[in-house]
């Protein structure tokens, strides 16, 4: 069946711009996670949704980052006033149990 999908696969933007990254989880998975992976590092937790609500957003680095999941399926990660330090691969994962299935990620480059 279909796995987790993310769009766009690559996003290049200029410092100060606003970006939206989309995640389509595996159908029926109630839990959805966003992670960020910088070069040479493991993925770093950002936020976790159970259904429509953000159960844990403790990993969001600051208030420029926000995520929504209005219907309990697709999620959008929104980054305002992007900075060069936001450049990374943003990974989405979904799960029913403890195993999380990852999407291919969105590579964000802030110039």
23, two tokens: 């995640």
* Binder among 60, 100, 108, 110 for another protein (CB under 8 A): 100
Measured from the CB atom, is 103 or 110 closer to another protein? Answer: 103
Q: CB count, 10 Å around CB of 111?
A: 10
Window of 12-20, 21-29, 69-77, 90-98 that interacts with another protein by CB under 8 A: 90-98
52 binds another protein per the rule CB under 8 A:
no
> Hey, is 86 helix, strand or coil?
helix
29 forms part of the interface with another protein (CB under 8 A): no
Half-sphere exposure of 29 (CA within 13 A, CB side): 28
């Amino acid at each position: 069946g279909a796995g987790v999908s993310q769009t766009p696969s690559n996003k290049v933007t200029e410092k100060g711009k606003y970006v939206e990254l989309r995640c389509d989880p595996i159908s029926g998975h109630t839990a959805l996670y966003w992670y960020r992976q910088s070069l040479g590092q493991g993925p770093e937790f950002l936020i976790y949704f159970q259904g429509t609500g953000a159960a844990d957003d403790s990993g969001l680095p600051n208030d420029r980052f926000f995520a929504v999941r209005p219907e309990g399926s697709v999620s959008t990660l929104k980054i305002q006033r992007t900075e060069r330090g936001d450049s990374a691969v943003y990974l989405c994962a979904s799960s029913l149990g403890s195993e999380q299935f990852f999407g291919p990620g969105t590579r964000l480059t802030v110039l």
